[in-house]
Structure 1
Amino acid sequence: MKPVQLRSLFAASALFVACSAAFAADKPQVVILATGGTIAGAGTSVANSATYQAAKVPVDKLIAGVPELKNLADVRGDQVFQIASESFTNEHLITLGKRVAALARQPDVDGIVITHGTDTLEETAFFLNLVLKTDKPVVIVGSMRPGTAMSADGMLNLYNAVAVASSKDSAGKGVLVTMNDEIHTGRDVAKTVNIKTEAFKSPWGPLGMIVEGKTYWFRAPAKRHTSGTEFDIDKLDKLAPVDIAYGYGNATPTAYRAFAQGGAKAIIHAGTGNGSVSGAVVPALQELRGKGVQIIRSSRVVGGGFVLRNAEQPDDKYDWVVAHDLNPQKARILASVALTRTTEAKELQRMFMEY
């Protein structure tokens, strides 16, 4: 080969390398934080979609199992926990929140995906929505079937989560949840069934959807979140102890008194209908409020319980709080965070209406 041809070849190679580097630099940088759950689970056969062991597959294998991710972003992974989500504690929430906040501050991170078990995914999503001060996309994803099952949903869910985290349109919308091709706000979404891939629903509908790696948006969150929050994960080292007591026919005060004796600073009443409280329970809740325990009325109604203040019970008179449209488990999360800043029922009520 002649010297001129060699120089031309070298120049073309250099240009290719430079263009490739520029293309790579233009790709969004997405970090996947893995915590375990069904998306990292494995069954003994392809027929096992409901019986399996969660939290078995490490994050590097999850990423390797979806090679198409490289078409969306430069992806790297970090194994934060490897647990089933029913074992998540307040300490896990704080550890994860601080890790996400630190990543969000890095200029080389454009979006963050968190793989999570579905049992408490909605609680973690709401917690992060309350305490992260960032506009960068934070997306939580799980699966209803382990990767070893026929029609496993984890691969596509993870692909969609990275697509959402990579999209500039996702910025400023708070913590998001992607499941079954839908995009939900972490505030609203809840697990509504335990054996179907369309398990996650929001009472007011999804924010949008993902089709073949592209996001389509239909609405935006109305409540305060992330960059607009008054809470800050960097100033949180401990959450207030809050418990949930279930309302039902023939209810007694036993659980409420036990939770208070155990140190609960607030008790979420998961009431029937509009957060109704049995006549046999009301005196005990009045007594506990007089001792400083916050009483927060929520509704156990699936898919859209909405508790109106001073309806069913005279909340103003009793100095109780209503959870608005938050289900009992999300009410627990907000109360646990809010009680680190105030012990006034009126302030708590403001927070429940704004968040």
Structure 2
Amino acid sequence: MLAFRTIIAFLAAGLLANGAVHAQQQVKPGVVIFATGGTIAGTAKSSIDTTTYRSSTLEVQSLIDAVPEIREVATVTGEQISNVGSPDVDQSILLRLAREINRSLADPGVHGVVVTHGTDTLEETAFFLDLTTAGTKPVVIVGAMRPTTAISADGPMNLLQAITLAASRDADNRGAMIVLNDRIGSAFYTTKTNTTSLDAFRATEQGYLGMFIGVKPRFYYSPAIPRGKLTFNVNGVNSFPKVPIIYSYEDQDADQIDAALRAGAKGIVIAGSGNGATPLSVRKRLIELTSQGFPIVLSTRTGGGFSTRSVEGIASGIFNPQKSRILLMLALAQGADVPTIRTYFHE
């Protein structure tokens, strides 16, 4: 009789243990979606209108409800940070995003976050978040090239893939990532290269981190941190110094430089021709400002390559003008001087 009771107790314990394991297996990773607007939340009157639609008309819960498959991969909550086209994303939105994301990532119940965003300036926000969010958990920025009402709208699949990525352990320790069109790109390197194509984001020199097979992420490499990557704490920052980008062209004079200074610029990024070049009249003014300790970053308008020109300022290295602006803006907000800023751009 005692042996029989022992067997029953053993079987019961086994069933309970199996039940506990099964319950554990049913717990899905927590993912928080921060919505900012953009084409991914846009609508049009016609299903074939992919260029003159209204962006930022849907809110985060509508995006979640439109993709019920999301519930199969993660426990998802959403927060509406803004609902604007990405050209209207300002520093208050950026700062709120960074703070809310860091707060969420500190929650043990959250494995990763997703930011829905318009694609026009998506790379700028993604790069900003890559430099201002801490920890090892995935931060995924996602957008769409077609509004939700379009035939073959890309937003729903992009969102599902982004959430799957944010819920994946394979995505840990990879920094902020950009997801569109079955591609996984590093926010540190990826840039928008096409106005309307679905395949609009690339890192031409560095390549993609991985791709999706259906909704499953496949990485090409083990986790690695980009060389020279910095992390800035923006908890005490309420605003950023003004940093304009000035485009270089033939027969240019220094008037735009002086206008930027009068408008309160604390640093300037030059989108130079070739390897950061400018006409002689502009070069003379830049050299004068550099000698006075004013931060000038020389980037390139070419769309690729490593900028090395540093006679008139700080060579931007791998960073295009828009990313150079973000990095210079963050550096100035921390009170960095020109020699220190130079090290930020040169690893």
- Normalising by structure 1, we get a TM-score of 0.88
* Contact 2:188-2:226 within 8 A present in 1 as well: no
Q: How does 1:280-295 map to 2 (within 5 A)?
A: 280-295=281-296
Find the counterpart in structure 1 of residue 321 from structure 2: 328
For structure 2, the 5+ residue unaligned runs are: 1-15
Cα distance per residue 1:151-180 (max 9 Å; x no partner)? 110011001101110111111110000011
Distance (whole Å) between structure 1 residues aligned to residue 123 and residue 325 of structure 2: 12
Find the counterpart in structure 2 of residue 87 from structure 1: 88
Find the counterpart in structure 2 of residue 223 from structure 1: 227
Letter in 1 for 2:210: G
* Contact 1:38-1:146 within 8 A present in 2 as well: yes
Letter in 2 for 1:328: P
Find the counterpart in structure 2 of residue 305 from structure 1: 305
Against the structure 1 CA distance between its residues 19 and 45, is the aligned structure 2 distance closer, same or farther, given a 3 Å change threshold? farther
Q: Offset of 1:290 from its aligned partner? A: 4.2
Find the counterpart in structure 2 of residue 32 from structure 1: 33
Find the counterpart in structure 1 of residue 163 from structure 2: 162
Find the counterpart in structure 2 of residue 72 from structure 1: 73
* Contact 1:101-1:233 within 8 A present in 2 as well: no
SS in 2 for 1:305: coil
* Contact 1:185-1:221 within 8 A present in 2 as well: no
Distance (whole Å) between structure 2 residues aligned to residue 224 and residue 55 of structure 1: 35
- Normalising by structure 2, we get a TM-score of 0.90
Q: How many residues align?
A: 329
Say yes or no: does 1:150 pair with 2:157: no
Q: Offset of 1:291 from its aligned partner? A: 4.5
Cα distance per residue 1:117-152 (max 9 Å; x no partner)? 011100000001111111110000000000100111
Find the counterpart in structure 2 of residue 273 from structure 1: 274
Find the counterpart in structure 2 of residue 213 from structure 1: 215
Q: How does 1:127-146 map to 2 (within 5 A)?
A: 127-146=128-147
Q: Offset of 1:236 from its aligned partner? A: 2.7
Distance (whole Å) between structure 2 residues aligned to residue 292 and residue 15 of structure 1: 67
Letter in 2 for 1:280: S
* Contact 2:298-2:309 within 8 A present in 1 as well: no
Q: Offset of 1:23 from its aligned partner? A: 3.7
Find the counterpart in structure 1 of residue 10 from structure 2: none
Against the structure 1 CA distance between its residues 64 and 241, is the aligned structure 2 distance closer, same or farther, given a 3 Å change threshold? same
* Contact 1:132-1:233 within 8 A present in 2 as well: no
Q: Offset of 1:293 from its aligned partner? A: 2.4
Letter in 2 for 1:275: G
RMSD (CA atoms): 1.9
Cα distance per residue 1:228-257 (max 9 Å; x no partner)? x34113233322211100001111111111
Distance (whole Å) between structure 2 residues aligned to residue 290 and residue 324 of structure 1: 21
Against the structure 1 CA distance between its residues 62 and 325, is the aligned structure 2 distance closer, same or farther, given a 3 Å change threshold? same
Cα distance per residue 1:47-88 (max 9 Å; x no partner)? 111110000011111011111112211111111111111001
